[in-house]
Amino acid sequence: MNLKKILFQDVHFKHLFFFMFLFVGVNSALAQKKNEIKGIVLDEFENPIPYAAVGIPSKQIGTATNDDGVFSLKISQENLTDNLEVSTLGFKTYKIKIQEYLDKKLAKIILIEDVVSLATITLEKPTNHVKKAFKRLKNNSLSSKHQVDMLYRRSSVENGKTRFMVEHYLNIIDYGPSDTRFEELGIAEARKSADYRFAFKKQPAHAVNVMVQLNPLRQRIYESDYNWERIDDTSYDGEDVLVMQGKKKNQKTHKKHNWIKLYIGMDTYGIYKIDVSRHANKFSNLKALYIYKKNANGKLVLSYHNRVANFRTPISAQQQKLLKLKDRNVVSSYRHEAIILNIETDKKKFDIRNTLYDKKDMGDYDIKYNPTFWNTISLPPATKFYKKSVKELESIYRVSLESQFKAVNK
């Protein structure tokens, strides 16, 4: 029997840094034809600016540049009179009419650095600044009940090579970062690659729930548990931003690399970005990023998240011999990406499909593959990591990812 056919029969039974946001209603995208605008965002020296927000905030339409500064955005005819806005930390916000952008046939958008000099200004203590940010979290963020439509992808990397990838289009009922968990979660659409893993590490719940549990804002951390210092200054959309780093007090030696960075607005105390680095032990570590963006009403909403969790996974003696490894542990990692596609605040329009009631690894959900949905949905340009994952998955048995989707997701 053909090896590829055997592979697919087997996987059928066994079973994706940076700043991004995308507010495009999927139903709308399917209902009417969209025009696509493309470009690249650069600084004054023509260096690409990754993860810059590109969109029409007043209409909750947007995307983000990938790590090469490239973006693409699908719009309707009625958006031609709207303003296209490009914003990111450290640069002045750029605005231009959509029609003007198209008429000039612009291929490049140049952002001007927003120079911040706060050295001569007397600022309050870092701990107090962080404390006020936590206190105003609910007021600064979208904290009323809303639906979040999210693309969530996870790549499983073993010995430096991607060997499995799963993508879910999620419908989530949420109250924002002031709440410790999601109220409801559903998998509307899903697809996964062939499974070439030899170390099957499972998560006891859907990975998006882990994303919530790792978010310092949702963990209800206390500023008094950390030693805070101001390590940098930047800006966002005209507001000076202070970069505060907190290191956990009295932490053990092997956890000395545990720290949190909060990018806090100097005037509003809004938290625009979070960096997390955590070393549980010498065999496991985690790096995570959370990006927040203002919606049309000035409330902060999550727009993009990524994290990399590195660990060692035990394998059998037979697998060790086959892989020619020195020990019975494989160096593995999970690479996670979450991209917000749409936020709906009208409760009458809430639509949660395939609500999850059980707790199991996201790779174990078997949902029929819908190629029409995945070919129609508006997504930002692929990141380098995503491209690398796809290339590696296709190289193992010379089978295209699309063919894997069709064969595996029955």
Helix ranges (H only) for 224-357 are 317-323
> How big is the chain, counted in residues?
410
Dist CA 185 CA 338 (whole Å): 14
pLDDT at residue 58 above 90?
no
Render 10-27 in DSSP notation, one character per residue: HHHHH-----------HH
Q: How far is CA 138 from CA 130, 142, 187, 335, 387, in A?
A: 14, 7, 27, 29, 37
- Cα(55)–Cα(47) distance, integer angstroms: 21
Provide φ and ψ at 93, rounded to 5°: -70, 135
Mean pLDDT of the chain: 84
Helices 3-14 and 384-397, packing angle to 10 deg: 120
DSSP 8-class letter at 259: E
The model's pLDDT over 193-251, given as tens digits with 9 standing for 90+, comes to 999 988 888 888 999 999 999 999 998 788 888 999 999 999 998 899 999 999 988 76
* 194 Rama class: left (phi>0) / alpha (psi -120 to 50) / beta: beta
CA atoms within 13 A on the CB side of 284: 7
Which pLDDT belongs to residue 24? 39
Q: What is the DSSP letter of 104?
A: T
Nearest C-alpha neighbor of 259 from the set 243, 270, 283, 236: 243
Please list, residue by residue across 349-375, b when 16 or more beta carbons sit within 10 angstroms of its beta carbon and e when fewer do: eeebeeebeeeebbbebebebbeeebe
Query: For 253, which DSSP code?
Result: G
pLDDT for 16: 32
**pLDDT tens for each residue of 80-139:** 999 999 989 899 999 999 999 999 888 899 999 987 766 556 678 899 999 999 999 999
Q: Which one-letter DSSP state was computed for residue 335?
A: E
- How far does Cα 78 stand from its chain's mean position? 29
pLDDT at position 5: 45
Whether 334 has a pLDDT exceeding 60, the answer reads: yes
**Residues 3, 162: Cα–Cα separation, whole Å:** 20
pLDDT tens for each residue of 165-176: 999 999 999 999
Mean pLDDT of 140-166: 93
Q: Which of 53-67, 133-147, 247-261 comes out lowest in average pLDDT?
A: 247-261
pLDDT for 14 beyond 50: no
DSSP state of 354: S
| pTM greater than the 0.95 cutoff | no
DSSP 3-state of 62:
strand
pLDDT value of residue 106: 86
Q: What's the rounded Cα separation, in Å, for the pair 310 and 278? A: 11
pLDDT tens-digit series, residues 176-208? 998 989 999 999 999 999 999 888 888 889 999
CB atoms within 10 A of CB 247: 15
DSSP string, 138-193: HHHB--S-EEEEEEEEEEEEETTEEEEEEEEEEEEEE--TTSSS-SEEEEEEEEE-
Torsional sign, CA 101, 104, 109, 110: negative
Within a 10 A sphere around the Cβ of 45, how many other Cβ atoms? Answer: 7
Residue 21 has pLDDT above 70, yes or no: no
The fraction of the chain above a pLDDT of 70, given in percent, is 87
Q: How far apart are CA 249 and CA 247, in angstroms?
A: 6
Q: Note the pLDDT of residue 25.
A: 42
**Both tokens assigned to 209:** 């729930």
Higher pLDDT, 353 or 329: 353
Place of tokens 């395939």: 354
- Stretch (H or E) spanning 342: strand 329-344
Task: Using the predicted structure, report yes or no on whether residue 49 has a pLDDT greater than 60.
Answer: yes
Q: Are 295 and 344 in contact (CB under 8 A)?
A: no
Segment among 1-10, 242-251, 270-279 with least mean pLDDT:
1-10
Angle between helix 401-408 and helix 384-397 axes, rounded to 10 deg: 70
